[in-house]
């Protein structure tokens, strides 16, 4: 064993399966670049067999990243494996990640297979993948509820057929740390040092990080994680928590990772901006209160020596007291420098676009904070994909008058203007937008408003979700006027809805649902 653990990030695949966390291709690429700059060892970019769109999305990531290995998930089916290879073959470090369930529960009720049939699937699938790629990972779905003897047999066969990484996933977050330690130990006994062992833990019992650390103690040298711990159901082990636990307690664990921890906070904020999924203030490592001290006793100790109540330095995870303030006199070089400090290496074309948006924002507020810069970056994504574009909104309301709003939206290039009354200006704007979209049955199922920064001129950030039929679409936006931010978020959701409807019509969503129903992850 070595004293180094590989960090395998699956935010783009398992994390995206969180309800409401679906990302566009541009959003995936932005997050992948961030992970690459953080020196994450492996990025699982998606499940190419799910749809042609998913395959293209993984290809885009594979073509541009410089440092991280790029993995594509697939079942043991030949078609899945071929699609995975097609998606990652242009990567500098491609990996095919093959999986099949091994627990008797899954064999009987999902796969309808015998153990012998599963072993044959492993033989055929791993061998086929190994013909394409030197780096092949095999996962035994629901490993922690699998008979250990059969698990050992399955993993030994996978190694024999060319697997170089063996993943022992706690698919439903069922195991306990000591139990997981023993399972990893027994797998090591069966395969020795012929392959790297990996841990993939879900958080259904709140033990994903604890189980991941137990696996490392037992000899696993890869852990599969997500930013902010997002993922199916209760989520996955949080990247930032695993990495900082190893760093902070290296005296006990003796293990290091390659991750640039100074980018953990900005990665967390980027994911929140992209998905609109909020994070509790007391979230470990990257939460707003992670390094806040209110108790008088704690504050007294902190003034004397920060180590009295802080086991990590805030700056080591990306917090800083020198939040560089930009304004209308700041130039493009200063703006680019701040984006680089935040972990974004942007192309010239994108930088020029952001600078124009930055100058317009400077006309509305005096001081531009990091949160404003991240909001500008996210707002500029997917511009070519938008069918709906908000051109103007005017509204009025008061204590003694009914609220009204007049909204102008360009739809497929044609300008449409509608006026409506409502319970308030936001409601009136939404009613007008609903009519412009031609979908009176569209329902607002989630609406959240927060201040992006401090100050009376702070931008309001709005996250919302719309539902019509079996499609739910999210939208988010920021503006110094919360009514405008709300209207922009609604239009953003309309564009996401339109994209999903197109995928549904083309059959991509149906195929993706079929893949998921038959087992879409570990």
Which of 202-206, 253-257, 362-366 has the least mean pLDDT?
Answer: 362-366
pTM of the complete model beyond 0.95: no
**What superfamily would CATH give domain 6-280?**
Aldolase class I (3.20.20.70)
For residues 462 and 162, the model is more confident at 162
Are the C-beta atoms of residues 421 and 428 closer than 8 Å to each other?
yes
Phi/psi at 267 (5° precision): -65, -40
Q: 69: part of which helix (H) or strand (E)?
A: strand 69-75
Query: Which segment of 114-118, 288-292, 318-322 scores lowest on mean pLDDT?
Result: 318-322
Per-residue confidence band for 342, with pLDDT thresholds at 50, 70 and 90:
confident
What pLDDT does 336 receive? 87
**Closest of 476, 287, 324, 350 to residue 33, by C-alpha:** 350
Q: What is the mean pLDDT of residues 262-290?
A: 89
Mean pLDDT (the chain, rounded): 89
Q: Maximum CA pair distance of the chain?
A: 78
The C-alpha atoms of residue 499 and residue 295 are separated, in whole angstroms, by 49
pLDDT band of 221, cuts 50, 70, 90:
very high
Specify the higher pLDDT residue, 215 or 332. Answer: 215
3 state DSSP class of 407: strand
What is the signed CA dihedral for 265, 270, 271, 275, rounded to 10 degrees? Answer: 150
Phi-psi region of 5 (alpha: psi -120 to 50; beta: other; left: phi over 0): beta
- How does residue 310 score in pLDDT terms, banded at 50, 70 and 90? confident
Q: Do 194 and 157 contact (CB within 8 A), yes or no?
A: no
Confidence of residue 273 (pLDDT cuts 50, 70, 90): confident
Say how far apart CA 395 and CA 238 lie, in whole Å: 43
Q: What's the confidence (pLDDT) of residue 262?
A: 93
Token couple for 193? 């040092």
In sequence order, the β-bridge partners of residue 224 are 8, 200
**Which of 235, 474, 467 lies closest to 378 in space, CA to CA?**
474
Closest CA to 465 of 20, 18, 16: 20
Per-domain residue ranges of the chain: 6-280, 385-506
Say how far apart CA 86 and CA 79 lie, in whole Å.
11
Q: pLDDT tens digits for 402-438?
A: 999 999 999 999 999 999 999 999 999 999 999 999 9
pLDDT over threshold 80, residue 513: no
d(CA 492, CA 364): 21
Fold that domain 385-506 belongs to in CATH: Double Stranded RNA Binding Domain (3.30.160)
pLDDT for residue 59? 97
pLDDT digits (tens, 9 = 90+) for 465-487: 999 988 888 888 888 899 999 99
Mean pLDDT throughout 100-126?
97
- Position with higher pLDDT, 382 vs 450: 450
User: Mean pLDDT, to the nearest integer, of 455-466?
Assistant: 84
**pLDDT value at 520 more than 80:** no
Q: Looking at residues 192-219, what average pLDDT do you find?
A: 98
% of residues, the chain, pLDDT over 90: 63
> CA–CA separation, 108 vs 186, rounded Å?
25
Q: Which of 91-100, 161-170, 239-248, 500-509 has the lowest mean pLDDT?
A: 500-509
Confidence of residue 298 (pLDDT cuts 50, 70, 90): very low
Q: What is the predicted pLDDT for the residue at 300?
A: 46
**pLDDT exceeds cutoff 80 at 143:** yes
Predicted confidence at residue 517, as pLDDT, reads 60
Q: With bands split at pLDDT 50, 70 and 90, how would you rate the model's confidence at 297? A: very low
pLDDT digits (tens, 9 = 90+) for 222-231: 999 999 999 9
Task: Supply the pLDDT for residue 485.
Answer: 93
Choose between 353 and 194: higher pLDDT.
194
Banded model confidence at residue 94, pLDDT cuts 50, 70, 90: very high
Confidence of residue 295 (pLDDT cuts 50, 70, 90): very low
């Amino acid at each position: 064993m070595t004293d180094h653990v590989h960090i395998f990030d699956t935010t783009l695949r398992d994390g995206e399966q969180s309800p409401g966390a679906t990302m566009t291709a541009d959003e995936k690429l932005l997050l992948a670049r961030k992970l690459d700059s953080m020196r994450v060892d492996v990025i699982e970019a998606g499940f190419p067999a799910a749809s042609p769109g998913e395959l293209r999305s993984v290809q885009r990531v594979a073509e541009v990243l410089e440092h991280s290995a790029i993995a594509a998930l697939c079942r043991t089916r030949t078609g899945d494996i071929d699609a995975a290879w097609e998606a990652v073959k242009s990567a500098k470090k491609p990996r095919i990640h093959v999986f099949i369930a091994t627990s008797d529960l899954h064999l009987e009720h999902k796969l309808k297979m015998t153990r012998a049939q599963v072993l044959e699937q492993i033989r055929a699938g791993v061998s086929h993948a190994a013909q394409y790629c030197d780096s092949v990972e095999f996962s035994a779905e629901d490993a922690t509820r699998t008979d250990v003897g059969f698990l050992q047999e399955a993993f030994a066969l996978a190694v024999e057929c060319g697997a170089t990484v063996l993943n022992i996933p706690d698919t439903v977050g069922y195991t306990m740390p000591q139990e997981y330690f023993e399972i990893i130990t027994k797998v090591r006994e069966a395969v020795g040092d012929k392959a790297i062992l990996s841990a993939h833990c879900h958080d259904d019992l709140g033990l994903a990080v604890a189980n991941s650390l137990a696996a490392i103690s037992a000899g696993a040298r890869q852990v599969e994680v997500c930013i902010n711990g997002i993922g199916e159901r209760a989520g996955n082990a949080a990247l930032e928590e695993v990495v900082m636990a190893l760093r902070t307690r290296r005296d006990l664990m003796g293990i290091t990772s390659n991750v640039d921890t100074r980018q953990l906070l900005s990665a967390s904020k980027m994911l929140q901006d992209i998905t609109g999924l909020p994070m509790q203030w007391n979230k470990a490592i990257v939460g707003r209160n992670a390094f806040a001290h209110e108790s008088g006793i704690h504050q007294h100790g902190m003034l004397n020596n920060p180590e009295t109540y802080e086991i990590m330095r805030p700056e080591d995870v990306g917090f800083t007291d020198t939040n560089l303030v930009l304004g209308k006199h700041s130039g493009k070089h200063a703006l680019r420098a701040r984006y680089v400090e935040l972990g974004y290496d942007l192309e010239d074309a994108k930088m020029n676009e952001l600078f124009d948006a930055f100058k317009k924002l400077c006309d509305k507020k005096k001081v531009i904070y990091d949160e404003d810069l991240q909001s500008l970056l996210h707002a500029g994504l997917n511009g070519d994909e938008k069918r709906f574009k908000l051109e103007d909104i005017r509204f009025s309301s008061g204590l003694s008058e009914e609220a009204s709003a007049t909204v102008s939206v360009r739809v497929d290039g044609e300008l449409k203007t509608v006026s409506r009354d409502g319970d308030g200006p936001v409601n009136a704007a939404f009613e007008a937008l609903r009519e412009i979209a031609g979908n009176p049955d569209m329902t607002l199922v989630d609406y959240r408003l927060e201040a992006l920064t401090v100050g009376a001129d702070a931008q309001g950030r709005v996250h919302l979700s719309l539902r019509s039929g079996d499609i739910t679409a999210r939208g988010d936006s920021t503006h110094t006027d919360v009514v405008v931010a709300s209207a922009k978020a609604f239009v953003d959701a309309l564009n996401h809805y339109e994209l999903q409807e197109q995928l549904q019509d083309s059959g991509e969503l149906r195929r993706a649902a079929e893949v998921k129903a038959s087992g879409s992850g570990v």
